[in-house]
Amino acid sequence: MIGIGVIGYGYWGPNLVRNFAELDECRVAAVCDRDAERRKRVAKRYPAVRTFAEASELIADPDVHAVAIATPVASHYELALAALQAGKHVLVEKPLASSAAQCARLVEEAQTRGLVLMVDHTFLYTGAVEKIGELVRSGELGDVLYYDSVRVNLGLFQPDVDVIWDLAVHDLSIMDAVLPAKPRAVQAAGIRHLEGQQVNMAYLTIKYDEALIAHLHMNWLAPVKIRRTLIGGSTKMIVYDDLEPSEKIRVYDRGVSMLDRNSEDGRSVYKMLAYRRTGDMWAPKLRATEALDLEARHFLDCVAGRAKPLTDGASGLRIVRLLEAASESLERDGAWVELPAE
């Protein structure tokens, strides 16, 4: 049976422990957190789980075969590398690391040792994003024209990352998985409203070689929580509202087409007219399984050699390259930053 060790029992760690603890294919062998009160909570709820104050002790535990890391971003690289070098499979909370160079090093280490390196891009395991991917790949939307997202709330200010690295990472991972084209350049604009804090409001625009553009709006100072995405195609369009309890995905048979019409004098001159086409709306049925449950099962399947990670280290590297380009654009006052060719 696969022994799981979880490093970090703050915001996300308890969710990881709960989901792994409910699976028959593994057991939670150990949890690490430097906070004594958090370790007490683990011991009270999971008496059979060993607790450690230092990550090195958990990584060295022979009963731990795979490590899930749910700590601040700045610590991801050091912890993941240590776990891989100790022969452990690794699941890392998003984003994979603080830089593309660090991500590339982790990918190389995992490949060299034949270990699983997976990133916790949880949205890719939701029924909604799964359905969006199916619709795009099937050609149901026609040519994808744009991805437009608003992800705002009166949120938790992160001490180590700005609003782009905190919130945009979700949409970037979704786009990486479902859009048919690869990004070419990134432009970012943002502002820091509170002294001593990170950039709390930002707009991100991404260019593609095809007739496709993406625009993301992130904000920690919004009075309401919004998680809404529009994906426009040449034949149909999607509205994805993650906060909608029942109909998270709505597909609209609507669009704009060009119509040729002869000129009034009958000469061979054509006027191109744009007209709006309006059809039905439908809400597809979505898989209801909790995303983190599916992700935990998928991780175990990958460790057992039964599957290839959907959100592998390479995908984590691609997302961090985008985040780095966005940060560079912010520093250069909104200049376009070209992405390296893969």
Q: Contact, 115 vs 89, CB < 8 A?
A: yes
CATH architecture of the region 2-122+291-308:
3-Layer(aba) Sandwich (3.40)
Of 2.30.40.10, 3.30.360.10, 3.90.1150.110, 3.40.50.2300, the CATH number of 124-287+321-338 is 3.30.360.10
pLDDT over threshold 50, residue 59 = yes
Q: What are phi and psi of 119, to 5 degrees?
A: -110, 140
Average pLDDT score over residue span 7-23: 97
Residue 213's pLDDT band (cuts 50, 70, 90): very high
In this prediction, residue 264 carries a pLDDT of: 53
Amino acid in the structure at residue 226? I
In this prediction, residue 313 carries a pLDDT of: 98
Beta carbons within 10 angstroms of residue 246's beta carbon: 6
In this prediction, residue 274 carries a pLDDT of: 58
In this prediction, residue 152 carries a pLDDT of: 97
pLDDT over threshold 60, residue 262 = no
pLDDT over threshold 60, residue 268 = no
Element (H, E) at 45: helix 36-45
Q: What is the pLDDT of residues 26-51, one digit of tens each?
A: 999 999 999 999 999 999 999 999 99
pTM of the predicted protein model: 0.91
For the chain, give every domain's residue range: 2-122+291-308, 124-287+321-338
